[in-house]
Amino acid sequence: MIVFPNCKINLGLHILRKRADGYHDLETVFYPVRFTDILELIPDRSTNDQPVTYSQSGLEIQGNPLDNLCVKAYQLLKKDYPALPPVKMHLHKVIPTGAGLGGGSADAAFSLQLLNDYFKLELSTDQLLHYALSLGSDCPFFILNKPAYATGRGELLKPVSVDLTGYTLVIINPGIHVPTAKAFAGIRPALPEKSLKEIIAQPVSSWAEELVNDFEKPIFYQYPEIAAIKDELYRAGAVYASMSGSGSTVYGLFTDGKPLILNLPPDYFIKVLPA
């Protein structure tokens, strides 16, 4: 069985406060994007005594493959469903990693759903959300995979009406890895004057003035080449441009359908697709 885990962008991101448990409360709007990895699962009927055999191709993923979230998703379900048979999982990575696009979280969430569907575990959506949260704060979003207003650590989700049909989305990643801890180190939490729910309900043409990602200021200071991408998107005619998550991906929304001309280094990852 094959599935196609998609990525997301953040439409605004406010860091509200630091919590007693060391995490931060935030508010953001997750928006699913039709740009995907490819994940395949088949039963392992070999004499291999490993419960899960994992392989990967495409873009390089740093770290031990056995620590991949796809493997962890299998291991998580195996604890509660010991009869889960051995499997082979292959991930073809297309979404840049460590880029603020949630690709790893999507792979984890889709792994849970894939195992649930293939082996007919009959897990409810609430159960899948519970398992997903134990794999990462962004993972529950990909179980629902619809535009959502997120609070808490990003796991408290409410449906939100956002429709970007007709816009062209341009995703640019400069290949810079921004450690999450380093991104948070430059943040000064504060309550915004206006909720993202109010801003997101306004016309997209107004977002450039009010829809803010709090990570941009410290990240742009540390990595001016990321800031330059946002400037270039606006120069090229974007209606709205922003960094996604804690970076380093920057995206722009375009409406006019004119040929896109960007003055950026040739090694940057650029993807153009319908929003």
Same domain, 18 and 125: yes
Helices assigned H by DSSP within 69-187: 69-80, 103-118, 125-135, 139-144, 180-185
For 213, which DSSP code?
B
DSSP at 214: T
Give the domain extent around 128. Answer: 2-159
The neighbouring-strand residues paired with 273 are: 169
> Does 8 qualify as catalytic in the annotation?
yes
Q: Measure CA of the first residue to CA of the last residue in the chain; give whole Å.
A: 27
Residue with tokens 């959300």: 129
Active-site option among 8, 93, 230, 271: 8
pLDDT digits (tens, 9 = 90+) for 238-269: 999 999 998 899 999 999 777 788 999 999 99
Residue 74 CA to residue 69 CA, distance in Å, equals 9
Q: Pick the catalytic residue from 93, 138, 230, 271.
A: 138
- Among 181-190, 197-206, 235-244, 265-274, the least confident range: 181-190
Lookup result for tokens 């990462």: 136
Tens of pLDDT, residue by residue over 37-52, are: 999 999 998 877 889 9
- 17 and 88 fall within a common domain: yes
Instruction: List Cα–Cα distances, 249 to 15, 149, 190, in angstroms.
Output: 18, 20, 24
Tell whether the model's pLDDT for residue 186 goes beyond 80: no
User: Quick one: residue 21, left, alpha or beta (phi over 0 = left, psi -120 to 50 = alpha)?
Assistant: alpha
**Domains of the chain: total:** 2
| Claim to verify: residue 141 and residue 213 sit in the same structural domain | no
8 and 141: one domain?
yes
Instruction: Name the domain boundary from 159, 177, 198.
Output: 159
Q: What global pTM score does this model have?
A: 0.93
